[in-house]
Amino acid sequence: MHDGSGRIVVQGLTKQFGQVTAVQNLSFTVEPGSVTGFLGPNGAGKTTTLRMLLGLVKPTSGTATINGQPFHRLGNPARVVGAVLEAQGFHPNRSARNHLRVYAAAMGVPDERAEQVLQLVGLDAAADRKAGGFSMGMKQRLALATALLGDPQVLVLDEPANGLDPEGIAWLRSFLQSFARSGRTVLVSSHLLAEIEQTVDQVVIISRGQTMYYGQLDDLRRQQQTRVLVRPADPHALVKALQEDGITEVESTPDGQLAVSGADSMRIADIALAAGVAVYGMQEEQLDLEQLFFRLTSGQFTAAQHNPYGQPPGGGWGPPAGGAPQQAYQAPTYQQPGYPQQNPQHPQQGTGWGGNA
Amino acid sequence: MGALIKAELRKILSTKMWWGLMIPAALIALGFTWLGAAFGTLDALKSELGASLPTVLPTFAFGLNFASIFPAVYGATALTGEIRHRTITTTYLTGSSRGAVLVAKVVAYAVVGVAYGLACAVFGTIGAAAGAHGTDFPGLGSWLAMCGVGVLVMVLWTLLGVGLGALVGSQIGAVLTLLLYTLLVERVLATVLGHQHLDKVPPYLPNAAGSNATTELSLRLFFDEMPGAVRSHANFQQLKDLLTLADTPPWWGSALVFAAYALVLGLAGWVVARERDIT
Ligand SMILES: Nc1ncnc2c1ncn2[C@@H]1O[C@H](COP(=O)(O)OP(=O)(O)OP(=O)(O)O)[C@@H](O)[C@H]1O
Ligand SMILES: [Mg+2]
């Protein structure tokens, strides 16, 4: 039987769907007592990974365990782990209450538990309506109610905020935090860092099925760095001069600028002057978390580089209960003075969340 | 295990399909026994033979055979319906193993099969009584034997459907396979085999085996209940030939063959379903 630790361990997980490698050699650990974010762009392999963890998809190689055991050896698994994998898993003609009673019976919990979780997610008024007629957000709530039915120690949620209204999102956020604070485990996926930034303590960031970052969100925040975008007359000469001065972290951007890390603009200007390279423009760029996330995961899709809906990054998650922290987060990031001009290839700068790499 | 069976029964009872498909099955049973009873008790026939003919017994068997497609289709939705509505995810997440879930389904759907059998028995009895205007009902033993074999084949057809569904995975695929095979493919196959001088084979094909379990028994009982004057072994063989049942095993043999098909499909379905990725 399982060890009751509440720990999720993923080791060397790989899944091949025919020619498609959905997940490649993925490893991470999720500890109890904290909310772990599982991040990656669309198609990165989040859902596939979570389904392998839950025994629904058979890994090509590698292992995933909950409480030290693979899913199929958990005994009565729903008492250990609850999962929200999709908001569509309902018989359209079965009422919410009957849906919950079916699974209450399967996991051997009393029927009153169905009433409790209905109330918890705020669906008690709709309990006798058919799930097929539910809105997306109501389905998400019912999916969450199903996951909580067995009072599990571990919660696994795949994009649970989809379709939830701001109130629902704020509620979910505080629910997950208090759930984790009671010493239990939460693993929640999203394709938007901003969406779960307020909620998670730890993140696993994947792209194209591979781990790009795995650790404390605070450590990632500390990695936030300044870089300077320079538009020199002769990039090669400037790169050479910078290297001679010991500045080696230089990348060229798609629009022909140089992105220089590890030096401020004054020092770069001095070096350029000494080397006799004309500089037509220079901007300091502060990478925030969202940009870091994008840099970690960029390149999967070029199409992801602009957001056709022009929605601000905080929009996916809606205003939190307290409002203030997220406002503070959005403002400095996307209204940096002069920033939009820097990347003329992406006219949607300042609105799309992904255009900053 | 009991918990999972209870969950499966709740799933079944909380939607309408189980009785939606039971209605046509029961009505078919009723129609066939009505006609059989009415024919066997025709005045002209009675005055010719001096007694009524228990034709209601074989027509009950025919009715059961037609009606059995409904529980089979219902069985085929056991797993495929969950795949279609994506409830399979939660079902697998709340079961100790996929094998346990499948066994629970088999038990719950066997109960449904019994219910289909009983419904057909009740409605078949009503049809038999009404068709003969309340007279000349066959012997109680014979009738109960027919009802019993009816329940048995209904259960087997339901479970065959469950196994086929688990194997095929797609609801449309499983239902179409079932309908096409029973209504078309096996007939063609039997004809082809007949032309190859393999006439001994067709009675062992699934649909024939399932049907013959009821039909062969009904002929035996029919023969037992016939007026003494026309009852002879030669007549029995003639009757079997007439219904192209000359090479069939006795009813219980056909039932065993059919049960073997259901078992093989169930095992194959289990092997496939436990490996199937739920994405
Ligand atoms: N059943 C399947 N057959 C073939 N390929 C699949 C299957 N399921 C997933 N994939 C592929 O595996 C990759 C990872 O998909 P996955 O659904 O795990 O991504 P994701 O990170 O959850 O994306 P999203 O944010 O869009 O939900 C994709 O390229 C996808 O097309
Ligand atoms: Mg996904």
The tens digit of pLDDT for each residue in A208-258 reads 888 888 888 888 877 766 778 899 988 889 999 999 888 888 888 888 888
Per DSSP, the residues of B222-247 read HHHHS-GGG--HHHHHHHHHHTT-TT
Q: Write the pLDDT tens digit of every residue in B230-263.
A: 677 777 777 777 777 778 899 999 999 999 999 9
Q: Write the pLDDT tens digit of every residue in A64-94.
A: 999 999 999 999 999 999 999 988 899 999 9
Nearest CA in chain B to A48: B279
User: Averaged over A121-149, what is the pLDDT?
Assistant: 94
Contact between B266 and B155 (Cβ < 8 Å):
no
**Residue A50 CB partners (closer than 8 Å, separation 6+):** A38, A83, A85, A156, A158, A187, A189
User: Which-ligand-closest: CA of A205?
Assistant: 1
User: Averaged over A279-303, what is the pLDDT?
Assistant: 70
pLDDT of residue B224: 84
Q: How far is the CA of A54 from the centre of ligand 2 (A)?
A: 14
Contact between A152 and A81 (Cβ < 8 Å):
yes
Percent of chain A exceeding pLDDT 70 equals 82
Q: How far is the CA of B65 from the centre of ligand 1 (A)?
A: 45
AA identity, residue A242? L
Q: How many domains does chain B have?
A: 1
Instruction: Enumerate chain A positions whose Cβ falls within 8 A of a Cβ in B.
Output: 17, 47-48, 51, 54-58, 72, 74-78, 81, 83, 85-86, 88-95, 98-99, 101-103, 105-108, 146, 150
d(CA A149, CA A118): 9
Q: Write the pLDDT tens digit of every residue in B73-124.
A: 999 999 999 999 999 999 999 999 999 999 999 999 999 999 999 999 999 9
Q: Residue B100, class by beta-carbon neighbours within 10 Å (0-12 exposed, 13-18 middle, 19+ buried)? A: middle
Please, what sign has the CA dihedral across residues B78, B81, B83, B86? negative
**Average model confidence (pLDDT) across chain A:** 81
Residue nearest (by alpha carbon) to ligand 1 atom 14: A45
Q: Which chain A positions have a beta carbon within 8 Å of B4's beta carbon?
A: 106
Residue among B96, B275, B277 minimizing CB distance to A76: B96
φ, ψ dihedrals at A26, nearest 5°: -90, 135
pLDDT of residue B220 exceeding 60, the answer is yes
Residue among A75, A89, A102 minimizing CB distance to B14: A102
* Interior angle at CA B96, CA B90 and CA B99, nearest 5: 95
Contact between A231 and A282 (Cβ < 8 Å):
yes
3-class DSSP state of A311: coil
User: Averaged over A306-316, what is the pLDDT?
Assistant: 33
Contact between A244 and A213 (Cβ < 8 Å):
no
d(CA A242, CA A64): 46
Q: How far is CA B210 from the centre of its chain?
A: 6
CATH 3.30.70.100 domain locations along chain A: 226-286
Neighbours of A338 (CB within 10 A): 10
pLDDT of residue A307: 33
Q: Which residues lie across from A10 on neighbouring strands? A: A28, A64
Neighbours of B74 (CB within 10 A): 28
What is the domain range of residue B106? 2-275
Q: How far is the CA of A24 from the centre of ligand 1 (A)?
A: 12
Q: Which residues lie across from A215 on neighbouring strands? A: A203
**Average model confidence (pLDDT) across chain B:** 92
Q: Which chain A positions have a beta carbon within 8 Å of B273's beta carbon?
A: none
**Residue A15 CB partners (closer than 8 Å, separation 6+):** A21, A22, A23, A45, A48, A49, A52, A57, A59, A60, A209
AA identity, residue A33? G
pLDDT of residue B122: 97
CATH 3.40.50.300 domain locations along chain A: 8-221
d(CA B157, CA B69): 7
If pLDDT is split at 50, 70 and 90, which confidence band does B229 have?
Answer: low
Q: Residue A241, class by beta-carbon neighbours within 10 Å (0-12 exposed, 13-18 middle, 19+ buried)? A: buried
For A8-221, give the CATH class: alpha beta
- Tell me the nearest-neighbour CA distance from A350 into chain B, angstroms: 36
Task: Show the tokens assigned to A143.
Answer: 């999916």
Q: How far is the CA of A117 from the centre of ligand 2 (A)?
A: 25
pLDDT of residue B73: 97
Mutate to test the pocket of ligand 1, among A10, A16, A17, A50 (most ligand atoms within 8 A of CB): A17
Residue nearest (by alpha carbon) to ligand 1 atom 31: A43
pLDDT of residue A287: 67
Residue among A17, A86, A106 minimizing CB distance to B94: A106
pLDDT of residue A25 exceeding 90, the answer is yes
pTM above 0.90, yes or no: no
Q: Write the pLDDT tens digit of every residue in B146-172.
A: 999 999 999 999 999 999 999 999 999
pLDDT of residue A293: 77
Q: Write the pLDDT tens digit of every residue in A256-267.
A: 888 888 888 888
User: Averaged over A178-186, what is the pLDDT?
Assistant: 94
Which residues' Cβ are closer than 6 Å to ligand 1?
A 17, 20, 22, 40, 42-48, 191; B 279
For A226-286, give the CATH class: alpha beta
pLDDT of residue A299: 54
If pLDDT is split at 50, 70 and 90, which confidence band does B228 have?
Answer: confident
Contact between B137 and B57 (Cβ < 8 Å):
no
